[in-house]
Structure 1
Amino acid sequence: MSAALAETIARDAADGRAGEYDLAGFGEAWVDALVEAAFATPTRAKGGFYASCKFIVGGGKKTRAKYDDEVVKHLTAALRARGFEDDRGASACEACQGTYKYQHDTDKDLKYLHVFPRVTHEAEGGEAAAAAGGTQSPEYRACACDLEEFERLVEMYCPSFSQKRALLRRMKVMEHALGALEQKVIAMESLNDREQTMYDSMVEVAAKIEFLQQALDDMIKKGRLTKGEQGEIVEDLELKLEDLNLMVNEANEEGKPKRAEMLESKKEIVVKKIDSVRAKPPIVYTVPHERELLDLKKELNSLKKIAAQSKGKLMSGADAAKCANIPKLEERIANLENSEEKGWYEDECRALLFPPVAEKKAPAKAKASGAKTNSGWLTKAAKGGSRGGGGSAKASSTRGPSNPFAMLGDD
């Protein structure tokens, strides 16, 4: 039964399909065998496709009896044993390979575990490992530089918790790809040019990943998190607490008091982390040009509306003069949105980093168009005034966005 389902999963991935699989009747042994057969090694997938496996693991009164009460515990334990991580924000993309997340669909009254396996892309002629990150991508650049340069890049381009975590996810994919190449070398298999380039360029990847993980822990301890980041971390920790509760119950049922005691101590640490995150005031980022962008987009939408209403009609001279500015407005907006001041993965993390700006009248007259604007992010506590003054001389001498945390100090 496990082998047949694993073959179905493999066929779906090879054909580029995201499948849904019912685990009714599966016990611990079958679940472990399924995970071993389907996910112990990277899944062969259609070129450019990142597999997503949606397992039905339970449901309401009508379907509850079909499922082992502990199938979720067995499945997550088997996945963790093979290097998978719980990620509430995971999706079928390159950065989320090797993750899983739980979902309770109240509309269908079904419980799911979504698994996002690591993949190799057969359509790329065996080059999947080398293609884990393009050579121009931030993660490739981060993996290819030396450790000192890497730390500088992280400070410049990944100042926030969310950006660091996005980079960490991608670097873990790169690390896995590098491991696949190392296995080919050990097996005396030849590497193509693209794979050889990647294999030769990767430097101290494990040490860089360890540095990022430590940096994330430090940011949590020091409270350098936005309100959105705090909420996401608390959700992750609460899920971890649920997993620990399941493992404690399992240890007690198996008569392993020492293991149960060890797990209880881990639970206490998680609870303290949750309390610590909630207790600290969130920081707030503001970005340059944000108000200008809002005004420009509002003006652009207004002019486009005029142009649309005048389509097929003779436009007045005043309206024609106004609409002639549409290309200039679009160019200005594009320049601001694609500014080099923007850090890595900022767009991806925007919802967690920047709260929506309320539409309100400006309290003061806008600056003249030729006035110099502040570059980089500004950081302040959610409550109270700004922490510190402008950026340091060191920050101003480097390229890229200034580090907002330089204004927070080391407290």
Structure 2
Amino acid sequence: HASGMAASIRGATESDTFDLAGHGQANITQTITDAFSEPLPLSEMIRVTFITGAGKLGRQKYDENAAKAVSSALRDLGYEEDRAASCVVECGGTFKSQHDTGKNLKTVVVFPKITGPSEEGGVKEAMEKMDLAGGKSLLEEGSPDQMIAMSSSPVFARMLQSKCSSWAQKKGCLKSLEGIKETIGELDSKLLRGTPLTDP
């Protein structure tokens, strides 16, 4: 029987925040397990934020091991910590700890495993949502090279698993990585010479 909070998480259709004030470790572990043991029935990624601690005034409301309880329960479910994770389908199954200095809150942000759209759509959608900080990509939009270059380690591992099952595909992926490494090397040497990257 899922707890009320776990049921709310499983029923979430958009990013939401859950406050763990007053919840003990055992209760937190149970909630996380109930909420995330199965992929959430969503086609788009959401961000599930848990408040695990607060500043001086609110500190006593939180179990001192709340954050640890959240992360170890997630790890037990096969989730990985990824500080670079963002709200895209490819990051499903990751989490990161954050400190909101403005509100003086400690949080654990979870990007849940979701049932997701079809495989192809998911990757494409993920790439469209990745924020390029308004800049233009050096690599062709949506190309395998761009996806490899922009992915964090856990996302890359997941893409490798789903997209590069054959030896030839793995070889192609390695070739892409070598090309990306070369491009970065060229950009680095430009910077070291003091040449603006916008120059040809």
State the TM-score, normalizing by the size of structure 1. 0.35
Corresponding position: 1:28 with 2:25: yes
**What secondary structure is seen at the aligned counterpart in 2 of 1:35?**
helix
2:99–2:105 CA contact under 8 A, matched in 1: yes
Q: What is the RMSD computed on CA atoms of the aligned residues?
A: 3.5
Q: 1:137 to 1:19 in 2, by over 3 A?
A: same
Letter in 1 for 2:174: E
Aligned partner of 2:133 in structure 1 is none
How many angstroms apart in 2 are the aligned matches of 1:116 and 1:40? 13
Aligned partner of 1:9 in structure 2 is 9
How many angstroms apart in 1 are the aligned matches of 2:185 and 2:174? 16
How many angstroms apart in 1 are the aligned matches of 2:46 and 2:162? 26
Q: 1:53 to 1:10 in 2, by over 3 A?
A: same
Aligned partner of 1:44 in structure 2 is 41
2:169 to 150, 158, 164: 150
How many angstroms apart in 2 are the aligned matches of 1:2 and 1:120? 19
Letter in 2 for 1:285: G
How many angstroms apart in 2 are the aligned matches of 1:100 and 1:20? 14
Q: 1:144 to 1:102 in 2, by over 3 A?
A: closer
1:133–1:140 CA contact under 8 A, matched in 2: no
Higher relative contact order structure (alpha carbons within 8 Å, sequence separation ≥ 6): 2
Corresponding position: 1:286 with 2:191: no
Shift in Å, 1:25: 1.2
Letter in 2 for 1:120: T
Matches within 5 A, 1:203-352: 285-287=185-187
Aligned partner of 2:81 in structure 1 is 86
C-alpha deviations, 1:15-74, integer Å up to 9, x for none?
xx10011001111211111111110010012x4x20210110001111001000001111
How many angstroms apart in 2 are the aligned matches of 1:158 and 1:70? 40
1:64 to 56, 59, 63: 59
Higher share in helix: 1
**What secondary structure is seen at the aligned counterpart in 2 of 1:43?**
coil
How many angstroms apart in 2 are the aligned matches of 1:109 and 1:95? 30
**What secondary structure is seen at the aligned counterpart in 1 of 2:75?**
helix
Corresponding position: 1:76 with 2:95: no
Shift in Å, 1:7: 1.6
Q: Could you tell me which runs of 5 or more consecutive residues in structure 1 were left unpaired when the two chains were aligned.
A: 122-126, 164-223, 225-283, 292-353, 367-411
1:44–1:119 CA contact under 8 A, matched in 2: yes
C-alpha deviations, 1:254-301, integer Å up to 9, x for none?
xxxxxxxxxxxxxxxxxxxxxxxxxxxxxx6115xxx8xxxxxxxxxx
Q: Which has the larger radius of gyration?
A: 1
Aligned partner of 1:120 in structure 2 is 115
Q: Could you tell me which runs of 5 or more consecutive residues in structure 2 were left unpaired when the two chains were aligned.
A: 125-141, 145-158
How many residue pairs are counted as aligned between the two chains?
A: 165
How many angstroms apart in 2 are the aligned matches of 1:141 and 1:83? 15
How many angstroms apart in 1 are the aligned matches of 2:172 and 2:160? 12
C-alpha deviations, 1:73-103, integer Å up to 9, x for none?
1111100000011111111112211010011
How many angstroms apart in 2 are the aligned matches of 1:2 and 1:62? 31
1:142–1:153 CA contact under 8 A, matched in 2: no
2:2–2:35 CA contact under 8 A, matched in 1: no
Shift in Å, 1:152: 1.8
Letter in 2 for 1:286: E
